[in-house]
Amino acid sequence: MFENLRPGDDVSLDGIAYQVERTSPSRFWVRIGGAEVKFNKANGREYGGQRQAHLPLFEDRPALVLCDAEARAMSAADLLAGVLQTPDADRLARQILAAFDSMTALRRATAVELARAVGNVALANRIKAAIEFSRRLLDAQDVERPKVSSPADAANLVMTDMRDLRVEHLRLILLDTRNNVLGTPTVYVGSINSISLRQGDLFRHALERNAAAMIVVHNHPSGDPNPSPEDVNVTRQLVAAGKLLDVDVLDHLVIGDGRYVSLKERNLGFD
């Protein structure tokens, strides 16, 4: 029954799928609760016990075929179960959602945190891949080179990527003379302040791409986009340096959880 198992295949124990870690001609090993457990390939029974392993029958779950209206009407648990596509997907979906206090927490969860919630590394990776794919769909641009005409345009360009970051990132939105986007490089990862910030690192990216202007963007992992005094001080320094290098610093955006603040709109650092 288990003769053709390979590392990475799934087996089911009490309705929960586990990934096979390694095999031998007569045995296979599954990691359960952090420990490797050995099973007999001939009957799927745990050595030293009566626990029975089964091959998951994923085909037992009906294929999910939906129209747009049906998908929008489904609950988060039903949609997550559709991603899991295991025999016990409904129960697992509820278990995962209960492990996180919000959809934002689930979206921000690491693969390790997801694996802890679902009890299965392969399923955790499946969820993480679905989250990342949806993130890229939301971030995709209809045109190859989007145009930035307002702070909202700039914020929308990076919001999906930056709203869930757990440490501060500083990115640039590089623009040509018509405000078409030339690139959005990440320049710094970590706490951003005027002491650690090397202005040359920022403007090097602009000069290498022949950018006429740039917008500075960084996130607040707390989710609160209100700028700090240090953010204003950094902005003032960058605006002054941009004038010397003939690269306009058009704005400095602070990204929070679904919100942003434009320092230019508030006239902070642009005096």
Tens of pLDDT, residues 118-148? 888 888 888 988 888 887 776 665 445 688 9
Q: How many domains does the chain have?
A: 3
- Please answer whether residues 227 and 261 qualify as being in contact, where contact means their C-beta atoms are separated by less than 8 angstroms: yes
Distance CA 20, CA 37 (A): 10
Provide, for the chain, the percentages of residues in helix, strand and coil under a 3-state DSSP scheme, each rounded to the nearest 5. Answer: 35, 25, 40
Q: Do residue 73 and residue 118 come from a single domain?
A: yes
Residue 234 has pLDDT above 60, yes or no: yes
Q: Do residue 113 and residue 160 come from a single domain?
A: no
Q: Do residue 44 and residue 70 come from a single domain?
A: no
pLDDT recorded at residue 145: 66
Q: Do residue 130 and residue 231 come from a single domain?
A: no
Structure pTM?
0.56
Q: Do residue 212 and residue 189 come from a single domain?
A: yes
